[in-house]
Structure 1
Amino acid sequence: MFVAELQKMLALPGVWTGAAVAVLGTAALTLLNAVGVRDALVAGRPEDTGYGSAFDTAFAAMPIGTVGAVVIGVIAVSSEYTANSPDAGGGRQIGTTLVAVPRRASVLVAKVTAVVLLVIATAVVAVPASVALAEAIIADAATATVPLDEAVRRCLGAALYWTLTALLALAVTVFTRSGVVPLLVLVVNSSLVSVSLLLTMLTPLAHWLPDMAGRRLFGDVDTVAGGLSPGPGALVMAAWALALLAVAGTVFSRRDA
């Protein structure tokens, strides 16, 4: 079942689009940031940039990868409910999937596993590539370095954040059975206007929302006061993902296809 779900996802253009957004998006933003940081440092104007190291410069672009993760998580489910062309009968993939595998919980587990693998594989490409690009551009102009242990922790944190975000997107799409609303809401919240961040200005409880809880996994310890540290934040975000997946599993098993 896992192999079948993985093969289906690899055949979807939307999944490759999500991976491309994560890889190329982070690389493009890293390129822009790194050029600006290098020029400021070479000109003796470190106050014009918030980054002294190439690693920090690259990681400023990591949140863009969450958009790609959202796309992968949404497409994994929404593709099942997208109607085929009239020439292909106009049916939906979900019917064929459930005929082949009547155990719906197993279908969802296979999808979750495939999404986790694809998002991690995307992070394995995107994160080192962006760091290497920043290192190549800034080179000796850097005025600071990030210790190896911290760099490894933040790389793993970025991959974990992307993965949990993809699982949250997958669970929400199970509820909606359409990719339009999850994509619109989650992409906007991840890249343009963070509703969770705005809510922290009204109540500190908003720091326990999934995206706010995990945002320090990237290593930004100077974010909004009152935010959770990386360890507890990761646990809270994972708890959100598991809880929503459990509810999604119940809904998926009991609702008509």
Structure 2
Amino acid sequence: MSAETRKALTLPAVFAGLAVAILGSLAVTLLNSFSVRNAVASGNPELVADTSPIETVFAAVPLGTMGAVVLGVVVISSEYTANSSDAGGGRQITATLTAAPSRLSVLTAKAAVVTALSALTAAVTIPAGLVLARAAIGDAANESVGTGEFAARSLGVFAYWALTALFALGLTTLTRNGIIPLILLIVNSSLVSFSLLLSDVTRLARYLPDLAGTAMVLGPSPDLFVDPELLLAPLPGGLVMAAWTAGMLVVAAVVLHRRDV
């Protein structure tokens, strides 16, 4: 755990992922808050989805998900990146498994580090975003979400980001390269959700990991882009996403254990 933490905190890409998740989410929250304030001030609150600062904070969650993807990918893909010729041209994974021959222990430690970083990211982003949103929206704010719901959905954000990062970790372990997982998962979480596209064909798409886990963030509130009837309840949705992630990590652990690194 100590070694994997130190390695993660020496990777520039990890700090890039944290910046995307934290600073990017806060920037989107601030922009959305100004839009809400201006819409209310002009007498056209219907121009925005909601005037609640809390809803404004949760609307920025997709950008934070991209940061979680980066975290999950680079923690393992860095092991397979070739060093420069001056450093011998080897890969970090050789030194890692020489120092810690148990491959399952290495993968478990990496998963723990990714989960801890996701928790830290959520713990900073959500409260800071709420402070910014309330300050920017001011008296125009509509506090329509109770404290209990806010706490539950905040935990949902952590769970969604952590499970996304762990899924990315497992997928990257299989590919031994970060390019494919980054492209696939970032496009899916930001531009085109393959689960949403499939939902037009079959309702079974609601059991795909990203769409199932979305319910943990949205809670009982309606959403502009997702049909509420398509979503599972928050707890079942979280369990479905956790099952997908656990399955991916199990497959990754088996492949890592059996193959020639």
Runs of 4+ in 1 over 3 A off after TM superposition: none
CA distance in 1, matches of 2:114, 2:202: 33
Show the 5 A alignment for 1:1-257. 2-221=1-220, 222=222, 223-224=226-227, 225-257=229-261
Aligned-residue offset at 1:220: 4.8
Q: Match for 2:256: what amino acid?
A: F
Report Cα offsets for 1:54-93 as digits up to 9, x if no partner. Answer: 1111111111110000000000110000001111111000
Q: Match for 2:85: what amino acid?
A: P
Report Cα offsets for 1:179-238 as digits up to 9, x if no partner. Answer: 000000000100111111100111111110000000011125433223211010000000
Count of residues in Structure 1 that have an aligned counterpart in Structure 2: 256
CA distance in 1, matches of 2:144, 2:112: 36
Q: Match for 2:137: what amino acid?
A: I
CA distance in 2, matches of 1:210, 1:19: 22
Report Cα offsets for 1:223-256 as digits up to 9, x if no partner. Answer: 3223211010000000111111011100000011
Report Cα offsets for 1:25-62 as digits up to 9, x if no partner. Answer: 10111111110100111222111111121111111111
Q: Match for 2:103: what amino acid?
A: R
Q: Which runs of 5+ in 1 are unaligned?
A: none
Q: Match for 2:233: what amino acid?
A: S
CA distance in 2, matches of 1:8, 1:143: 44
3-state SS in 2 of match to 1:91: coil
Q: Match for 2:242: what amino acid?
A: A
Would you say the 8 A contact 2:153–2:219 is kept in 1? Answer: no
CA distance in 2, matches of 1:13, 1:242: 27
Q: Which runs of 5+ in 2 are unaligned?
A: none
3-state SS in 1 of match to 2:61: coil
CA distance in 1, matches of 2:132, 2:142: 17
CA distance in 2, matches of 1:209, 1:136: 37
Aligned-pair identity (%): 52
CA distance in 2, matches of 1:143, 1:96: 55
CA distance in 2, matches of 1:33, 1:226: 26
CA distance in 1, matches of 2:45, 2:10: 46
CA distance in 2, matches of 1:187, 1:62: 13
Q: Match for 1:120: what amino acid?
A: A
TM (norm. structure 1) is: 0.97
Q: Match for 2:30: what amino acid?
A: L
3-state SS in 2 of match to 1:51: coil
Report Cα offsets for 1:109-147 as digits up to 9, x if no partner. Answer: 011011100111111111111111111100111134311
3-state SS in 2 of match to 1:228: coil
CA distance in 2, matches of 1:46, 1:238: 37
Would you say the 8 A contact 1:73–1:170 is kept in 2? Answer: yes
CA distance in 1, matches of 2:162, 2:85: 35
